[in-house]
Structure 1
Amino acid sequence: MVRFGIVGTNWITERFLDAALQHEEFSLAAIYSRTEEKAREFAGKYGVENTYTDLESFAKSGDIDAVYIASPNSLHMQQAILFLENKKHVLCEKPIGSNAREVKEIFEAARKNDVLVMEAMKSSFLPNFKSVAENLPRIGKVRRYFANYCQYSSRYDAYKEGNILNAFKPEFSNGALMDIGVYCLYPLQLLFGKPKKIQASGFMLDSGADGQGSIILTYDDMEAVVMYSKITDSTMPAEIQGEDGNILIDRISTQEKAWIQFRDGTEEDISKEQVKNGMFYEVDEFIRLIKEGRTESSINSFENSLAVMEVMDEARKQIGVIYPADRSSQEL
């Protein structure tokens, strides 16, 4: 069993635990929260005895082998490095840092301490994403990648009423691109690598966070179009257009269905069976890597995570999204 600690007692953590507790080698060992009351309340839901309100004590604890970090984005680097320096393996929610400088520092700490760190981008490990990658040659030369993730945030209703919650506060390195646009960019990086050129535009909210945006990414012989929003909804599938046919994905973040439309009008379902809560697969990858003594995923690799962040840094620069975390960075 791998003994996990949890940093961040919110809805995404509960979603993560719903998946992780299905894994036979996952053990929930300890909970951290800023207040004792919240830590014990959350721990009580899962029958966990060990709780912490001091992060440094938690990192030094002998209660855990690994930690899942689901705190605000702006805290990821500081917290990840603290655990890495205490020889704890780190699974950190996406985006793993606020910018490329922070991502590099996290990975350097992992190398220095010879422990595993992985960005928790779940879609990389989904059976249907693997099916898409395997079937890509069947649609011929790829000319366009289109991904769309537009999901109206309930927190936007609060925003319009004058209550600005964390999702729309730039001091937490939040906003539409970082929160959901990344789901469109990570598969693009895994399938096609870094683009040659980036053109980004977006709609800025008064808080300084982006509400929505679009990015055109140019490659030598294809282009990618990415759309994302936290202030509108969309049901359009993602699509990879080839000269001999197209691969469609129902929803880029969960990828529950994938199919090919060939130029002759025929269709083929290439979906594979996968569990409903796709976070299970990132847990499985992370635990497998620990068991094998590896310190980096070959899929959500340091190279891929950094490349995606560099694209987002450039897009934010063009849109005008600036975080407090950027002030000490030479990347923006």
Structure 2
Amino acid sequence: MIRLAIIGTNWITDQFVEAALKTGEYQLAAVYSRSLESAGQFAEKYDAPALFDDIDALAASPLFDVVYIASPNVLHGPQALQMMKAGKHVIVEKPMASNYALAQEMFDVAQQNNVLLFEAFMSAHIPNFKRLKESLSSIGKIRKGLITYCQYSSRYPKYLAGENPNTFNPDFANGSIMDIGFYCLSSAIELFGEPLSVVAQAQLLDSGVDGSGSVILKYEGFEVVLQHSKTSDSYLPSEIQGEEGALLMDMISTAKKLTKFTRGSDLGIDLSVKQESNPMYYEALEFANQFKQQSMNPSCTQRSLIVAKLLEEIRRQTGVVFPTDKKHFAKKTK
């Protein structure tokens, strides 16, 4: 049984814990929050996990094997590094780091301390997404792709009202491409690997982060267009076009439905398979398998590093700069 600790007591942590427990591979052993009251409120429905409000005490605790980190983006890297240096295995929410150099450092530290580091990108492990990847060869030579995730943020009205929510604050390494745009980019890399080139543009908010944007990934013989937005909704599926047909995926992040169209026919074929209602179930199961083998999946590691590198390049092209970039690069050049 994997003894699990969590950092962060938000809705996504609750969803992950629910998924992890459902696999039958985990038990919740520890809960960390900045206040013991918040930790206690989160832990009420679970079987008496230990409570922490001191991150150093958590790192030193012998009560758990693995920690799931779902704090604000800017804390992902530093907290993961602290936990791994203390000998803990780490599942860190996407994006794993605020820049590429930090992501590289995280994997180096994981190797040095003989621990596992796993980025919690759920899409790649969901059965319908795997079916999409397996079905690419059935539509002939790939010629075009559109991967889209546009969802009006519940925090956007607060931003418009003059508040400064984390979602649109560069101090927290946030914005559209770092949030829902991540699903588009990481899905493309999972399906097609590293592109030959990337061209990006974005609509920046006054805070300095992107509210929405588009990215063109160039591959040999085809391109993939990514659309992401936290300031508008879209109802379009993602689509991969081949010379012999097309594959459509409803909601790329959770892979809800997969439909295939064959060239010359207007009749779509539903390729969807039954899957768990909680999409995080499958990433929890994947990490449990890696934990049993005490070995990271090289393809997961490679995808995470490619995505981290491309996220930085996309931000460079669109002018999104985080304070952590300046600190890290200043340190690197000394």
TM range (shorter): over 0.9
Letter in 2 for 1:20: A
SS in 2 for 1:223: strand
CA RMSD of aligned residues (A): 1.2
Give the match for residue 277 of structure 2: 276
Distance (Å, rounded) in 2 between the aligned partners of 1:13 and 1:43: 11
Cα distance, 1:181 vs structure 2: 0.4
Unaligned runs of 5+ in 1: none
Q: How does 1:89-104 map to 2 (within 5 A)?
A: 89-104=89-104
Distance (Å, rounded) in 1 between the aligned partners of 2:205 and 2:11: 24
Distance (Å, rounded) in 2 between the aligned partners of 1:308 and 1:114: 23
Give the match for residue 237 of structure 2: 237
Query: Residue 323 in 1 paired to residue 322 in 2?
Result: yes
- CA deviation string 1:65-85 (max 9, x = no partner): 100000011111110011111
Give the match for residue 304 of structure 2: 305
- CA deviation string 1:140-176 (max 9, x = no partner): 0001111110000010011111111111110100000
Give the match for residue 77 of structure 1: 77
Distance (Å, rounded) in 1 between the aligned partners of 2:285 and 2:205: 38
Letter in 1 for 2:127: P
Give the match for residue 267 of structure 1: 268
Cα distance, 1:49 vs structure 2: 3.7
Letter in 1 for 2:305: L
Q: TM-score, normalised by structure 2?
A: 0.96
Work out whether residues 28 and 49 of structure 2, in 8 Å CA contact, stay in contact via their aligned partners in 1.
no
Identity of aligned residues (%): 45
Once the two structures are overlaid, the 10-residue window that deviates more, 211-220 or 11-20, is: 11-20
Cα distance, 1:11 vs structure 2: 1.3
SS in 1 for 2:283: helix
Cα distance, 1:302 vs structure 2: 1.8
Work out whether residues 158 and 165 of structure 2, in 8 Å CA contact, stay in contact via their aligned partners in 1.
yes
Letter in 2 for 1:286: F
Give the match for residue 191 of structure 1: 191
- CA deviation string 1:241-263 (max 9, x = no partner): 00000010011111111011000
Give the match for residue 168 of structure 1: 168
Give the match for residue 156 of structure 2: 156
Distance (Å, rounded) in 2 between the aligned partners of 1:315 and 1:49: 41
Distance (Å, rounded) in 1 between the aligned partners of 2:36 and 2:260: 52
Letter in 2 for 1:45: K
Query: Residue 291 in 1 paired to residue 297 in 2?
Result: no
Cα distance, 1:328 vs structure 2: 3.6
Distance (Å, rounded) in 1 between the aligned partners of 2:186 and 2:68: 20
Unaligned runs of 5+ in 2: none
Distance (Å, rounded) in 2 between the aligned partners of 1:329 and 1:260: 45
Cα distance, 1:329 vs structure 2: 4.2
Give the match for residue 124 of structure 2: 124
Q: TM-score, normalised by structure 1?
A: 0.97
Distance (Å, rounded) in 2 between the aligned partners of 1:220 and 1:131: 23
Query: Residue 250 in 1 paired to residue 223 in 2?
Result: no
SS in 2 for 1:177: coil
Cα distance, 1:46 vs structure 2: 2.0
Distance (Å, rounded) in 2 between the aligned partners of 1:98 and 1:224: 24
- CA deviation string 1:223-273 (max 9, x = no partner): 010000000000100000000000100111111110110002043211111
Cα distance, 1:44 vs structure 2: 1.9
SS in 2 for 1:206: coil
Distance (Å, rounded) in 1 between the aligned partners of 2:319 and 2:301: 26
Distance (Å, rounded) in 2 between the aligned partners of 1:19 and 1:137: 32
Once the two structures are overlaid, the 10-residue window that deviates more, 231-240 or 321-330, is: 321-330
Query: Residue 314 in 1 paired to residue 313 in 2?
Result: yes
Distance (Å, rounded) in 2 between the aligned partners of 1:159 and 1:319: 20
Cα distance, 1:18 vs structure 2: 2.3
- CA deviation string 1:8-48 (max 9, x = no partner): 01111112122122121110011001112111221223232
Give the match for residue 177 of structure 1: 177
SS in 1 for 2:17: helix
Corresponding pairs, count:
329
